Amino acid sequence: MSNIPQSRQRNFSIIAHIDHGKSTLADRLLEATHTVDPRQMTSQVLDSMDLEREKGITIKARAVRLEYVASDGLTYGLNLIDTPGHVDFAYEVSRSLQACDGAILVVDASQGIEAQTLANVHLAMKMGLHIIPVLNKIDLPASDPEAVMNELEETLAIPREEVILASAKEGKGIPEILEALVKRIPAPSGPLDAPLKALVFDSHYDTYKGVVNYVRVQEGRLKMGEAITMMGSGAQCVPVEIGYFRPQHVPVQELQAGEVGYVATGLKSVRDARVGDTVTTTMSPAAEPLPGYQVALPLVFAGLYPLSGEDYPALREALEKLHLNDASFTFEAESSAALGFGFRCGFLGLLHMEIVQERLEREFTLQLIASAPSCKYQVHLNNNKGEMLINNPAQLPSPNHIDEIREPWVNASIVTPTTYIGTIMDLSTDKRGIFDGMEYLDEKRVVMSFQIPLAELIVDYFDQLKSRTKGYASLDYVESEYRVAPLVKLDILVNGEPVDALSTIIHRDRAQSAGRVLASKLKELIPRQMFEVPIQAAIGGTIIARETVKAVRKNVLAKCYGGDITRKKKLLEKQKEGKERMKRVGSVEIPQEAFLAVLRTDAD
Amino acid sequence: MQRAQPPRGLYLHVPFCRSLCPYCDFVVIAGAAAFGPRSRMGGYVSAVEREIDLRASASVAAFGALGGVRDDVQRAPLETLYLGGGTPSLLPAEQLASLISRVRDRFGLASGAEVTLECNPGADERGDFTAAVQAGVTRFSIGAQSMDVAALRELGRRHGPDDVAESIAAARAAGATSVSIDLLADLPGVTLESWAGSLDAALALQPDHISVYALTLAAGGADEGEGSVDDRLATPAGALAWRRRAAAEQDEERGAQELELLNTRLPAAGFNWYEISNWAREGHTSRHNRLYWERASVEAVGPGAHAFDGATRRWNSANLDAWEGALMSGELPPGGAAAPISDRDAVAEGLVLSLRMSSGVDREAVVAAGFAEALDWGEANGLLLPHPEDAARVQLTMRGRLLSNELFSRIV
């Protein structure tokens, strides 16, 4: 409650790798502090989206206040700001950390520290956050706390005396963690009587309350009835509601410096109240906004098209609505000769793309086709025509207009058991990666660094890495720079017609083999049609591969089951649904998987 | 338009078989329950007699007594009775006779009604043809499946080609009006040559009617059907394994060629194509099956049996214990019914069923019902052509028969 003074507020987040037990630990903390009624306790309370529970990941940051009576007998307000755990959402992590004064670092005692965790801990330390190291899953027979403590000492200079041994599953170590939050993390220190400065670290859109900003109040007070201004956008409003999370919204009259909560603005567009903006009072505004965030830029682009052209307006509306809750994707109208009218969307990564598509389909009951994903290229035109940026392979001008093409590169770091050094080296150099160096975490594990073209990474690098290392290696990457490369456009012709949505930009040396693999993959993925369908791969007008999808010959029902027409109808309806899930391109019906086949152009 | 009508035919399901064939999705109980000291045939017959009584009473309550007129509909006796299975020829002669006479007593059987008995050709399962004819059977449908020894063995059948010949001869000698055989196409491990050989051997036996079904091996077996009620039985694991292996040995192209071969061989042997899977000599089409394709009212009794009264499709539980238990305590068996369908869906269903038959559909009527697009598509893709004897109608081409689902899935 707001009657907990600033000196007894603590703001923290949890840093952990996927599957290292972050959500379970959060659940235990909620239980131990009676934040959630045990009868309403569903597993992984904070991952409230179905998609999050299904995929076992946190997509959106979330906050909750725990009220904890410490060993000193006083009640503390512990504000947990949950962070996403996937590399695609790294930017959300940095945002959340900025609202915190400390972080629990959860490491699986049988697995050791992973690449993204390492990156996030470094980030947290750079921001001056106090780290509470927790070794989780010590109940597992495979756990090796000694080795992992060594690793923490070696790589992060975390003294082993500070490490708390825990098993979130069995509730071990929870009291120690709660005490550590109180004792080790400093109380927030912003002055209460200064002009209001509150950092917006996330937001969502509510039909009744407008844009709801999640804020950390750094200085001053945020009060009901006092008009506020978004210092970045200049938008003004009177708060509709102010409150904190438990994890449901609990309205209060005031949030003061050090507290984490929300303010419902009534504003209708997230553009007016962006994440990273600073909230201040309109009457006596702060002189300077808080540093804010670097805007996360989309790295992966793909066209999203409605299966049926008449759903185009519905797709636009859905994108606009979803964008209110996830400002990290971008969209702009485009049209494709093959797919009709749609939108070119930008995503933080492939997982983000998958999630946006699934949310659009589930929450707005749309049926969509996504084109092959691409990254953003700089194309330098000859004859002094300047430079163009393209994120859709179909836009690539013909080679005789191009001086050079530059593609984005990233710096990737991979944490892996030493056993897989060779295989990762092979995989990365196959993907045009340049080896930068290797550091031993301990005698069994290393961090490998590579420079690698983003285009190679978004194709199946991540899946390959997972499968080749049986899931033991983890990956983190940051964008580095654009570099010139001999890139060409690989076109696919279906039934003699080029299908722009299947075009990809690819390194010249790999184009031949990728073309052959892609044509044969498409042959498998495109079902038999009423006629024979040739599939060709072409580079600059030259056909480099050809396959044929044979015509369907026989599709007839078996014997009527003693007059059981219902079963026949069921089968026909199934076939009908199958057809409806496909996009008609010319006279050929193409399923979604075909458009994603370019992600799997390695011969296997 | 979707109005309940008195039944014109009755389907009676006899679920027992000597042994289970791995490809079969019908409601079948095999082994000790079907034969010998622990046979459940006796209990089954008592129960199915009760069901005949109960369904007949319900029919009288709904449509009035035989011969009467209600709502301008004349209550007429049944035109067809079909004993399907399973292996109905396993019914002892006196029980077969008693069931047929029970149906005649309760529902009526029109003079000249078609009474079909499905038989397996094996010596220990084909039954007594003479007794069957005396009991009132007019038509035998013999489950030959193939005339190829290796194919029959692969299918797990108990009989050989000679048994088929003996069965047909016995049916003829008993005075059957009509003899039909079933064949399966696209069997695992066959060649186009062995199929042609099997077909010629079947034709040499001079049946009156031939049904040819392409073997369909759905991955999940019968469990893929609709209905939460147990209107079908689970497919045994061994059968599923057989199907996976057999499906790998099927071939779409070869299967299509096998069916195309029928188009030349059967007419040459005096058979007319009249439904996607059926050919008959003049006057020998299956009247009972035509009722299904004409979307007529057909009553059904026995475990797992499906009925349609012109408006509602309903089915009995496939579970023999549940079905029998209810009947023995005087109640109708458990089962289910399909949700009512819209008039448009009913028209679509009728269209799909009519298109299965050589008589086809009236082009203008289809257009008027709003299915012009599917019709145009079928014509553009060579699946439909004007009926040779009636230019106002369209019928499936040979290609259309092979690819009928491509058209039908655009209609349902």
Chain B residues near residue A548 by CB distance under 8 angstroms: none
Please answer whether residues A464 and A350 qualify as being in contact, where contact means their C-beta atoms are separated by less than 8 angstroms: no
Instruction: Say yes or no to pLDDT of A252 above 70.
Output: yes
Alpha helices in A343-441 (DSSP H): 350-363, 421-430
* Residue pLDDT, tens place only, A261-284: 999 999 887 777 777 889 999 999
As beta bridge partners, residue A543 has A538
Closest CA to B338 of B224, B412, B227: B227
* Residue pLDDT, tens place only, B292-346: 999 999 999 999 999 999 999 999 999 999 999 999 999 999 999 988 899 999 9
Range A297-302 average pLDDT: 88
Chain B residues near residue A554 by CB distance under 8 angstroms: 186, 214, 252, 255-256, 259, 402-403
Give CA separation, A267 vs A21, A271, A273, A370, in Å: 37, 9, 8, 32
CA A164 from centre of chain = 29
DSSP conformation letters of B67-103: T-EETTEE---EEEEEEEES-GGGS-HHHHHHHHHHH
**Chain A residue closest to B296 (CA)?**
A563
Q: Which of A548, A566, A589 to mutate to test the interface with B (most CBs of B within 10 A)?
A: A566
Alpha helices in A90-239 (DSSP H): 90-98, 115-126, 145-156, 174-184
Instruction: Say yes or no to pLDDT of A342 above 90.
Output: yes
CA atoms within 13 A on the CB side of A296: 28
The pLDDT, as a whole number, for residue A53 is: 57
The pLDDT, as a whole number, for residue A1 is: 44
Range B357-365 average pLDDT: 95
Asked if A563 has any chain B CB less than 8 Å from its own CB, the reply is yes
* Residue pLDDT, tens place only, A441-468: 877 889 999 999 999 988 778 878 888 8
**Contact between A555 and B13 using a beta-carbon 8 Å cutoff:** no
Please answer whether residues A546 and A534 qualify as being in contact, where contact means their C-beta atoms are separated by less than 8 angstroms: yes
Q: Is the peptide bond before A247 cis (omega within 30 degrees of 0)?
A: yes
The H helix count followed by the E strand count for chain B is 15, 19
Among A43-57, A426-440, A575-589, the range of highest mean pLDDT: A426-440
Taken as a whole, chain B contains a residue count of 412
Residues A47, A52, A53, A55: what is their CA dihedral angle, to the nearest 10 degrees? -150
Model confidence at A195, pLDDT cuts 50, 70, 90, reads: very high
Instruction: Say yes or no to pLDDT of B229 above 50.
Output: no
The pLDDT, as a whole number, for residue B111 is: 95
DSSP conformation letters of A507-553: EHHHHHHHHHHHHHHHHHHSPPBSS-EEEEEEETTEEEEEEEEPBP-
Which range, of A104-113, A269-278, B30-39, averages the lowest pLDDT? A269-278
* Closest Cβ–Cβ partner in B253, B292, B412 for A572: B412
* Residue pLDDT, tens place only, A374-417: 999 999 999 888 999 999 998 999 888 999 999 999 999 998 88
Instruction: Say yes or no to pLDDT of B225 above 50.
Output: no
Range B22-39 average pLDDT: 87
Q: Which of B12, B141, B408, B411 to mutate to test the interface with A (most CBs of A within 10 A)?
A: B408
In the 3-class helix/strand/coil scheme, how is A128-144 assigned residue by residue? CCEEEEEEECCCCCCCC
Q: Please tell me the distance from the alpha carbon of residue A575 to that of residue B352, in angstroms, as a whole number.
A: 14
* Closest Cβ–Cβ partner in A556, A563, A564 for B214: A556
The pLDDT, as a whole number, for residue B181 is: 97
Which range, of A32-46, A180-194, B280-294, averages the lowest pLDDT? A32-46
Model confidence at B227, pLDDT cuts 50, 70, 90, reads: very low
Q: Please tell me the distance from the alpha carbon of residue B382 to that of residue B379, in angstroms, as a whole number.
A: 5
- Non-local (6+) Cβ contacts of B229 within 8 A are B315, B317, B334, B335, B336
Which range, of A41-55, A449-463, A529-543, averages the lowest pLDDT? A41-55
**Contact between A562 and B259 using a beta-carbon 8 Å cutoff:** no
**Contact between B259 and A554 using a beta-carbon 8 Å cutoff:** yes
Which range, of A50-59, A72-81, A206-215, averages the lowest pLDDT? A50-59
A to B CB pairs, distance under 8 Å: 107
- Non-local (6+) Cβ contacts of B404 within 8 A are A555, A556, A557, B276, B355, B356, B383, B396
Instruction: Say yes or no to pLDDT of B149 above 90.
Output: yes
**Contact between A561 and B338 using a beta-carbon 8 Å cutoff:** no
CA atoms within 13 A on the CB side of A260: 33
Rounded to 5 degrees, φ, ψ at B127 are 75, -170
* Closest Cβ–Cβ partner in B13, B315, B405 for A557: B405
Q: Is A223 left (phi over 0), alpha (psi -120 to 50) or beta?
A: beta
Range B52-67 average pLDDT: 94
Asked if A440 has any chain B CB less than 8 Å from its own CB, the reply is no
Which range, of B62-76, B114-128, B277-291, averages the lowest pLDDT? B62-76
Please answer whether residues A210 and A239 qualify as being in contact, where contact means their C-beta atoms are separated by less than 8 angstroms: no
Chain A residues near residue B227 by CB distance under 8 angstroms: 566
Residues above pLDDT 70, as percent of chain A: 91
Chain A residues near residue B259 by CB distance under 8 angstroms: 554, 556
Q: How far is B244 from chain A (nearest CA, A)?
A: 17
**Contact between B213 and A555 using a beta-carbon 8 Å cutoff:** no
Range B230-256 average pLDDT: 86
Note the ipTM here: 0.86
Q: Please tell me the distance from the alpha carbon of residue A379 to that of residue A400, in angstroms, as a whole number.
A: 12
Closest CA to A558 of B409, B218, B228: B218
**Contact between B300 and A557 using a beta-carbon 8 Å cutoff:** no
Q: How far is B334 from chain A (nearest CA, A)?
A: 17
Which has the higher per-residue pLDDT, B284 or A326?
A: B284
Q: How far is A337 from chain B (nearest CA, A)?
A: 23
Please answer whether residues B163 and B57 qualify as being in contact, where contact means their C-beta atoms are separated by less than 8 angstroms: no
Q: Which of A554, A559, A567, A587 to mutate to test the interface with B (most CBs of B within 10 A)?
A: A554
The pLDDT, as a whole number, for residue A55 is: 59
A217: number of Cβ within 10 Å: 27
**Contact between B304 and A556 using a beta-carbon 8 Å cutoff:** no
Q: How far is B257 from chain A (nearest CA, A)?
A: 9
**Chain A residue closest to B9 (CA)?**
A563
The pLDDT, as a whole number, for residue A437 is: 95
Helix (H/G/I), strand (E/B), else coil: A312 = helix
The pLDDT, as a whole number, for residue B263 is: 92
Token pair 């940026």 in the structure block, residue: A389
* Closest Cβ–Cβ partner in A553, A562, A576 for B11: A562
Q: What is the mean pLDDT of chain B?
A: 92
**Encoded tokens for B265:** 């061989």
Chain A residues near residue B401 by CB distance under 8 angstroms: 556
Taken as a whole, chain A contains a residue count of 604
Q: What is the mean pLDDT of chain A?
A: 87
The pLDDT, as a whole number, for residue A398 is: 87
**Chain A residue closest to B336 (CA)?**
A566
Q: How far is B101 from chain A (nearest CA, A)?
A: 21
* Residue pLDDT, tens place only, B260-298: 999 999 999 999 999 999 999 999 999 999 999 999 999
* Closest Cβ–Cβ partner in A554, A558, A570 for B226: A570
Range B192-205 average pLDDT: 97
Chain A residues near residue B408 by CB distance under 8 angstroms: 572
**Contact between B405 and A575 using a beta-carbon 8 Å cutoff:** yes
**Contact between A552 and B406 using a beta-carbon 8 Å cutoff:** yes
Chain A residues near residue B289 by CB distance under 8 angstroms: 560
Chain B residues near residue A566 by CB distance under 8 angstroms: 225-227, 306, 313, 315, 338
The pLDDT, as a whole number, for residue A563 is: 66
Which has the higher per-residue pLDDT, A154 or B7?
A: B7
Handedness of CA A117, A120, A126, A132 (dihedral sign): negative
Chain A residues near residue B213 by CB distance under 8 angstroms: 558-559
Please answer whether residues A536 and A546 qualify as being in contact, where contact means their C-beta atoms are separated by less than 8 angstroms: yes
**Contact between B308 and A530 using a beta-carbon 8 Å cutoff:** no
Q: Please tell me the distance from the alpha carbon of residue A421 to that of residue A429, in angstroms, as a whole number.
A: 12
**Contact between B313 and A575 using a beta-carbon 8 Å cutoff:** no
Q: Please tell me the distance from the alpha carbon of residue B56 to that of residue B79, in angstroms, as a whole number.
A: 15
Vertex A206 angle, CA A204 and A207, to 5°: 150
